[in-house]
Amino acid sequence: MNAFVCPAPIAVQDTVLLGHGSGGKLSAALLQQIFLPAFHNPLLSRLEDQAVLDVERGRLAFTTDSFVVKPLFFPGGDIGSLAVHGTVNDLAMGGAQPLALSAAFILEEGFSLADLRRVVDSMARAAENVGVPIVTGDTKVVERGCGDGVFINTTGLGVVAAGVDLSAANARPGDCVILSGSLGDHGITILTRRQGLELEGAIESDSAPLHTLVAAILAAAGDVRVMRDPTRGGLASTLNEIAVQSHAGIAIRETALPIHDGVRGACEVLGLDPLYVANEGKLVAIVPAASAEAVLAAMRRHPLGAEAAIIGEVVGRHPGLVTMHTPFGTTRIVDMLAGDQLPRIC
Amino acid sequence: MCLAIPGKVVEATDLGFTRIAKVQFGGVTRQVSLDFVPETQIGDYVLVHVGFAISRLSPEEAERTYELLRQIQEADEIAPEEPL
Amino acid sequence: MKYLDEYRDADITHALAARIRARATKPWVLMEICGGQTHTLMRYGLPDLLPPEIELVHGPGCPVCVAPLEFVDRAIEIASRPGVIFVSYGDMLRVPGSRQDLFRVRAAGGDVRIAYSPLEAVKLAQEYPTRQVVFFGIGFETTAPANAMAVWHAKRLGLTNFSMLVSHVLVPPAVRLLLGSPANRVQGFIAPGHVCTVMAHREYEALSAEFHVPIVVGGFEPVDLLEAIAMLVDQLEDGRAQLENQYSRSVTRDGNVAAQKLMEEVFEITDRKWRGIGMIPASGHRLREEYAAYDAERIFGAQEIHVEEPAECISALVLQGLKKPVDCTAFGTRCTPEQPLGAPMVSSEGACAAYYAYRRHTASEAAQ
């Protein structure tokens, strides 16, 4: 006769189980085996329900973002590093140096633990590189079919130095519009990795933290008006938002836009306009004309701004609209997109 | 209608019932069917629409007609009109 | 990119514009038939380079815009069925049917997927043998061969779970309709260069001769279009009416014979109702009897579909070049890319969408 075998969960699994999200032993195991070793810092190790931070007096920047990118792993990054960079960048666009991040995971039952470890390790490396600790977090598990592998939310706190006042409403006619580098790298990388759109080429995501580039810009000029990172919806959407909030027009020049060959070729083949393709390691800075040279020089000295270029200016005409001067000397509107840009055959 | 982009054939494979090529468009390459342009050689340029090559671009024709365009441009430079 | 960058040369484009300005002594109304050509014109602001004598009207060469409403509704109906994987080119996803669009069907739980090539749909059918894979075959003669090839491969593979909803339309019958209309103002046409790459330009030669109208087969880049316009203006000023081929680097005398043969093998010509225009005889394709097993129209039943277009939409007049998008009372207000009343506002190369996206600032300036 066989001995009675206790049906307690076995210690070794290779996929996420519902129990991992229920706050019990499995959850604790996940924390101890995957999250804590990766994100190790004194605050997180306390494992309180909240992280308590000492902050200087002044203004705190506070932002949140969720990441649902598919595929999870792509040339130039993955959902983990993206989740760190994206939130660090949202803080940076307000001139904030990152103080701390939180990380919340929604895992799908059946998701590979090896993949989870890969994502988490990548997040840890990205956070370490930035010098920002992940001080608190959460994990939930949803039933198979109700998630997409993993969704990540990161929330960030940052400190804004005195005198820094960046806002999309600040642009004024006469200001220069400066772009930090090439357009479309991230969006095209993601799109080409999806099934059916296999395109080979030296294209990779530009996912990167922009906080030191921002610091260099703010050191070069005290009167920077706006900084924004053109993520979803691309440069076109970002410039339109600024034009609307500032009640000003923005005029850019097509020949000034830096676009790499791979992105260009992919956009031609798929019928996409690079102006609407997402970027994850670029920023637009709007500065008074007198400060433009200094800011441009500072950007070009920084590794993430080597291809920085002045792409246009803020104008008094057509407030709320963005226009582009074409290589033929004509002008056309750069509109907001209705929805996602889709590959077209026509 | 009919977004068709020119690309260079860099590889070609005969699979019996179909012929597939690797075509280069600027900085990217893509799999393209050569079923409609069976005479295509490596190094040819083809026009690609929805994953199929629909024509081989004629370098001779392109050269000839571009020469005419160059002449028009030169004539314009010699006797330019008022700028717009 | 070779064969692309040279045809975007600004100096050559300006030289051609100068030539057009020098030659045009009278007003001329020209039409570019193909939506892709419309897109290039709008995107680069090329009409601004032309002298005021030249009026460009935009033709019905947008297969997304003219895909029969009945077929859009049928596509939506099929895509909503459980067990169906509905595959479509990206262009069609936001085209409004009588009541909704494919995007909304996906949001409601339908399995709607975008394909760049019809062969991806065939692959899906092989991958999911228990699901019905249906491909939405829209397009003009440029796309028909690729769609035909998908059906041909499906038959070769003996697939029993693949079908195509064929709603191709053919360009020459639409041009014939335009030319035959008493309201027609168009005096010269730019024929679609990629359609002619497949079909040759025989049909346009016949139209040019029958209606005594100059037709130039044109490409899709700024230099191509300006050159085609220059050739048309030359003909009109000289009093000639011929077929000329500007896009000779791709369009040959015989066209693509292999593609024509395959289309002939798989499709037969049928009457089609063009959205916004109406019935045009012998202007579309349907699958031949031998391919009936792959015909989604036959498989999914010919139920009565009750179609309705919003009353305010004047796409019929826009598609025939009789009105400009800005003449529409709903343009930019009740009809926008976010809330389109008709198909030309949805497709990126529909005249209304092109005007809205690229040129509505000039429209509002003109209004002031």
Gap between the Cα atoms of A11 and A8, Å rounded: 9
| A223-236: average pLDDT | 96
**CA of B50, closest CA in chain C: separation in Å?**
5
Which three-class secondary structure state does DSSP give residue C321?
coil
| A88-109: average pLDDT | 96
Residues of A whose CB is below 8 A from C63: 346
Interchain CB contacts (distance < 8 Å): A and C: 91
The secondary structure of residue A4, as a DSSP letter, is P
Of chain C, the end-to-end C-alpha distance in Å amounts to 41
Which of A192, A200, A269 to mutate to test binding with chain B, by most B CBs within 10 Å of its CB? A269
Pairwise CB contact (< 8 Å): A265 & B31: no
Tell me how many degrees the CA angle A21-A23-A24 measures, rounded to the nearest 5. Answer: 110
Instruction: Tell whether C265 lies on the interface with B, counting CB pairs under 8 A.
Output: no
CATH of residue B11's domain is: 2.30.30.140
CB-based contacts of C334, cutoff 8 Å, min separation 6: C312, C341
Gap between the Cα atoms of C284 and C286, Å rounded: 7
CB B55 within 8 A of CB C219: no
Which three-class secondary structure state does DSSP give residue B54?
strand
Question: Which uninterrupted H or E stretch holds C106?
Answer: helix C102-107
Q: Which two tokens stand for residue C248?
A: 């000779």
Q: Which two tokens stand for residue A52?
A: 């308590």
**Amino acid at the residue C40:** T
pLDDT of residue A319: 96
pLDDT of residue C171: 95
Pairwise CB contact (< 8 Å): A321 & C361: yes
Gap between the Cα atoms of C292 and C165, Å rounded: 11
Confidence category of residue A5, pLDDT binned at 50, 70, 90 = low
Instruction: Tell whether C14 lies on the interface with B, counting CB pairs under 8 A.
Output: yes
User: Nearest-CA residue of chain B relative to C15?
Assistant: B73
Domain membership of residue B59 (yes or no) is yes
Computed over every residue of chain A, the mean pLDDT equals 92
Instruction: Give the burial class of A145: count Cβ atoms within 10 A of its Cβ; 0-12 exposed, 13-18 middle, 19 or more buried.
Output: exposed
Alpha helices in C171-278 (DSSP H): 171-180, 193-199, 202-211, 222-238, 257-266
CB-based contacts of A286, cutoff 8 Å, min separation 6: A170, A171, A175, A176, A177, A178, A224, A225, A226, A227, A242, A314
| pLDDT tens string A170-222 | 999 999 999 999 999 999 999 888 755 667 778 899 999 999 999 999 999 99
Domain membership of residue B84 (yes or no) is no
Gap between the Cα atoms of C206 and C242, Å rounded: 10
Residues of A whose CB is below 8 A from C222: 328
Pairwise CB contact (< 8 Å): C149 & B52: yes
**CA-based nearest residue to B55, from C247, A270, A71, A157:** C247
Gap between the Cα atoms of C287 and C270, Å rounded: 10
Q: Give percent of chain A above pLDDT 90.
A: 75
CB A129 within 8 A of CB A85: no
Pairwise CB contact (< 8 Å): B2 & C248: no
Domain residue limits, chain C: 5-61+180-245, 65-170+255-299, 315-367
Pairwise CB contact (< 8 Å): B4 & C142: yes
Instruction: Tell whether C178 lies on the interface with B, counting CB pairs under 8 A.
Output: no
Select from B1, B5, B6 the Cβ nearest to the Cβ of C63. Answer: B1
Pairwise CB contact (< 8 Å): C256 & B5: no
CATH 3.30.1330.10 residue window(s) in chain A: 18-160
Pairwise CB contact (< 8 Å): A345 & B28: no
Alpha-carbon dihedral angle through residues A8, A13, A18, A22, given to the nearest 10 degrees? 70
The secondary structure of residue A9, as a DSSP letter, is P
Written as tens digits, the pLDDT of chain C (368 aa) is 899 999 999 999 999 999 999 999 999 999 998 989 998 998 999 999 999 999 998 888 888 888 888 899 999 999 999 999 999 998 888 888 888 899 999 999 999 999 889 999 999 999 999 999 999 999 999 999 999 999 999 999 999 999 999 999 999 999 999 999 998 999 999 999 999 999 999 999 999 999 999 999 999 999 999 999 999 999 999 999 999 999 999 999 899 999 999 999 999 999 998 887 889 999 999 999 999 999 999 999 766 677 777 778 888 888 777 888 989 999 989 998 878 888 788 776 788 888 887 766 665 444 44
Select from B3, B22, B84 the Cβ nearest to the Cβ of A346. Answer: B3
Pairwise CB contact (< 8 Å): B55 & C118: no
pTM: 0.91
pLDDT of residue A118: 97
Query: Domain range for residue B40?
Result: 5-78
Which residues of C touch chain A, with CB atoms under 8 Å apart? 1, 4, 8, 10, 13-14, 35-36, 42-46, 48-49, 62-64, 89-91, 93-94, 103, 114-117, 120, 139, 143, 222, 336-338, 347-349, 356-361
Select from B3, B26, B28 the Cβ nearest to the Cβ of A200. Answer: B28
Pairwise CB contact (< 8 Å): C3 & B26: no
Select from A201, A329, A345 the Cβ nearest to the Cβ of B27. Answer: A201
Chains that touch A (3 or more CB pairs under 8 A): B, C
Confidence category of residue A299, pLDDT binned at 50, 70, 90 = very high
Pairwise CB contact (< 8 Å): B81 & C22: yes
**Which residue is associated with the tokens 């676009």?**
A259
Instruction: Tell whether C264 lies on the interface with B, counting CB pairs under 8 A.
Output: no
pLDDT of residue C367: 44
Taking domain A176-333, whether its CATH number is 3.30.230.10 is answered by no
Question: Which of A51-55, A154-158, B46-50 is predicted with the least confidence, judged by mean pLDDT?
Answer: A51-55
User: Nearest-CA residue of chain B relative to A188?
Assistant: B28
Pairwise CB contact (< 8 Å): A332 & C358: yes
CATH of C65-170+255-299, one of 3.20.20.20, 3.40.50.11740, 3.30.360.10, 3.30.9.10: 3.40.50.11740
Of chain A, the end-to-end C-alpha distance in Å amounts to 72
Pairwise CB contact (< 8 Å): C192 & B2: yes
C225-236 burial by CB neighbour count: b if 16+ within 10 A, else e?
bbbbbbbbbbbb
CATH class of C5-61+180-245: alpha beta
| A319-340: average pLDDT | 91
**CA of B72, closest CA in chain A: separation in Å?**
17
| A67-77: average pLDDT | 94
Residues of C whose CB is below 8 A from A264: 1
Pairwise CB contact (< 8 Å): C3 & B55: no
CB contact residues (below 8 A), chain C span 287-316, against chain B:
none
Pairwise CB contact (< 8 Å): B65 & C3: no
ipTM of the complex in this document: 0.91
Residues of C whose CB is below 8 A from A323: 361
Residues of A whose CB is below 8 A from C367: none
pLDDT of residue B84: 45
**CA of C349, closest CA in chain B: separation in Å?**
7
Residues of B whose CB is below 8 A from C4: 5-6
Select from C21, C198, C248 the Cβ nearest to the Cβ of B65. Answer: C248
Confidence category of residue A3, pLDDT binned at 50, 70, 90 = low
**CA of B22, closest CA in chain A: separation in Å?**
10
Which fold is adopted by the domain A18-160? 60s Ribosomal Protein L30; Chain: A; (3.30.1330)
User: Nearest-CA residue of chain C relative to A335?
Assistant: C357
Which residue has better confidence, A54 or A277?
A277
Overall domain count for chain B: 1
Tell me how many degrees the CA angle A164-A166-A171 measures, rounded to the nearest 5. Answer: 130
Residues of B whose CB is below 8 A from C142: 1-2, 4, 49, 54
Q: Which two tokens stand for residue A81?
A: 């590093």
Select from B37, B57, B69 the Cβ nearest to the Cβ of C3. Answer: B57
Select from B2, B5, B26 the Cβ nearest to the Cβ of A346. Answer: B2
Domain membership of residue B83 (yes or no) is no
Select from C43, C90, C337 the Cβ nearest to the Cβ of A344. Answer: C90
Q: Which two tokens stand for residue A124?
A: 């840890």
